[in-house]
Amino acid sequence: MNGGDEVVAAPVGPPQPLEWKFSQVFGERTAGEEVQEVDIISAIEFDKTGDHLATGDRGGRVVLFERTDTKDHGSSRRDLERTDYPIGRHPEFRYKTEFQSHEPEFDYLKSLEIEEKINKIRWCQRANGALFLLSTNDKTIKFWKVQEKKIKKISCMNLDPLKAVGNGSVASSSNSVCSKSYLANGGYPDKSSNDFSFPPGGIPSLHLPMVTTHETNLMARCRRVYAHAHDYHINSISNNSDGETFISADDLRINLWNLEISSQSFNIVDVKPANMEDLTEVITSAEFHPTHCNTLAYSSSKGSIRLIDLRQSALCDSHAKLFEEQEAPGSRSFFTEIIASISDIKFGQDGRYILSRDYMTLKLWDINMDSGPVSTFQVHEYLRPKLCDLYENDSIFDKFECCLSGDGLRVATGSYSNLFRVFGCAPGTTEATTLEASKNPMRRQVQTPSRPSRSLSSSITRVVRRGAESPVVDANGNSFDFTTKLLHLAWHPTEHSIACAAANSLYMYYA
């Protein structure tokens, strides 16, 4: 530098909070419409490019959506890889296709009904223009290939289209038949029988039937079925970065599969005790590291996360790292272990951080620091006084999912009353946004009075209603409905866009 000038870097503060806006909704309910159980969405997943979105429902169906705005605007793939959101444009998706992935089954050996509900969907690597994905219910995983198929028809036959031949299969197999229903040398079919009347000189040439290509149709084909490997309900599937293998996890075991082999899997984690009475925790979620094919993590009902290395041994009974938060002394109660159970874990795209969701909080863990989470976000702390009621109506066992933004600076998860929350996790940020799954996502904030009135009538009412179920109100005075819950959501891999499910409706937002 000339003259000894010194360059001072400008201080970089935390990113500005995002302003979320409604983008699209699919399957929105009308007022008073009764939602069928089979139509409730149970899984959501973006593919790695963010150009496709898949949802699964309790009826065993998988619905695919395709992004359209990138085609309309001619955006290049380089634009899509940017994590800063292009101004003046938001992602638009359209319905692509749907197919029935799973059917209800009955296990005759165990006298057990197996629901068709889709528990998880995971996209696999694309190949030759076709889409590949895995879907699973409680017991069976299926590998699907979705591609455009051109419909081909036979045309220009030598036969009269109005005349059936044999059993009529030839005539009915052609919708567009050449107008020349006579033979090349002028001979005609014999109208009195199914045989041709051949001229004395024979037939010098025939019209060969031609195959013509008509419109294209999207076809979903089940390539493989991975079954009979789990005694308990499958809660997770996760693809490996090697593109060849994936894992499936149930309450007590994690199995490793090769995508090409459906007849066998390898049990890599087994936490089943010799005596089931000694069982103290179960596996709740499992996921492969996004870039290291030998590393995966799984969470437990005791609130711990274990990182395992497949290079250590064939059966990974011992973990490489254990992540858990120590209990505060004197804070233990009947509900402590229930609300500590982790319902979902997700790796960040760089693989350094793991996001976990338990009933009350989101926690962000650095895989290089196992002493405790680097950040903890309170999702609905105002429900703590109502844990007894939540236990009575089984809401305390709801399993909320979580997700991270592509740049790793924000996290999101759902709550009750179809709310979801977005938190900033960059150092120094205080971003915490509550949105509602509706066309007006910014939930109306109601100011609570600083000092509630203590009139005699209100005291009497309080005594009379003691023991009755009173509404739960958050810090902004919003009451909560436990019958509506936002369990499933996904963050676009490269842009600030979130897709979330409220019952049978798929809502999409952008910032």
What DSSP letter does each residue of 269-285 carry, written as one string?
EE---SSGGG----EEE
Strand 402-404's sheet: what is its strand order?
402-404, 410-414, 419-424, 432-436
Is 271 found in the same domain as 311? yes
Query: Do 268 and 323 fall within a single domain?
Result: yes
Kindly report the CATH number assigned to the domain that includes residue 86. Answer: 2.130.10.10
DSSP designation for 385: G
Same domain, 342 and 201: no
Task: Give me the residue label for tokens 């924000």.
Answer: 410
The span from the CA of 218 to the CA of 93, in Å, is 17
Q: Of 186, 208, 230, at which residue does a domain stop?
A: 208
Q: What is residue 200's predicted lDDT score, i.e. its pLDDT?
A: 64
Round to whole Å and give the CA distance between 248 and 205: 61
In 18-130, the DSSP E strands lie at 21-26, 41-46, 52-57, 61-67, 93-100, 105-107, 112-114, 120-123
Same domain (yes/no): 104, 191: no
- Look up residue 244 and give its DSSP letter: S
429 within some domain: yes
Residue 68 lies inside a defined structural domain of this protein: yes
Is there a single domain that holds both residue 298 and residue 323?
yes
Same domain for 294 and 432?
Answer: yes
E strand or H helix at 172, and its extent? helix 169-172
- Helix (H) / strand (E) element for 72: namely helix 69-73
**Per the domain annotation, does 45 fall within a domain?**
yes
Please check whether residues 394 and 492 belong to one and the same domain. yes
- 333 with 307, same domain: the answer is yes
- How crowded is the C-beta side of 486, counted as CA atoms within 13 Å? 30
Residue 14 resides in a domain = no
Closest CA to 173 of 157, 191, 184: 157
Verify that 304 and 381 share a domain, yes or no.
yes
What value, to the nearest 5°, has the Cα angle with vertex 143 and ends 137 and 145?
Answer: 130
Domain encompassing residue 180: 157-208
Q: Structural domain tally of the chain?
A: 2
Residue 12 counted as domain residue: no
Q: Could you tell me if 114 and 96 lie in one domain?
A: yes
Residue 15 lies in a domain: no
- For residue 210, the model assigns a pLDDT of 79
Shared domain for 188 and 101, answered yes or no, is: no
**Tens digit of pLDDT per residue, the chain (511 long)?**
455 555 544 455 677 889 999 999 999 877 777 889 999 999 999 999 999 999 999 999 999 999 998 754 444 443 434 334 444 567 899 999 999 999 999 888 888 899 999 999 999 999 888 999 999 999 999 999 999 888 777 776 665 555 544 444 444 444 444 444 444 444 445 545 555 565 666 655 666 777 877 778 889 999 999 999 999 999 999 999 999 999 999 999 999 999 999 999 999 999 999 999 999 999 999 999 999 999 999 999 999 999 999 998 888 888 999 999 987 777 788 899 999 999 999 999 999 999 999 999 999 999 999 899 999 999 999 999 999 999 999 999 999 999 999 999 999 999 999 999 999 999 889 999 999 998 888 764 433 333 333 333 333 222 222 333 445 665 555 667 888 999 999 999 999 999 999 999 999 999 9
- Is 213 among the domain residues? no
Asked whether the beta carbons of 360 and 421 are under 8 A apart, the reply is no
User: Domain end: 171, 189, 208, which one?
Assistant: 208
Q: Is residue 241 part of a domain?
A: yes
Report the pLDDT value the prediction gives residue 16, as an integer from 0 to 100.
Answer: 87
C-alpha to C-alpha distance for 58 and 486, rounded to whole angstroms:
15
Q: Quick one: 356 and 278 in the same domain?
A: yes
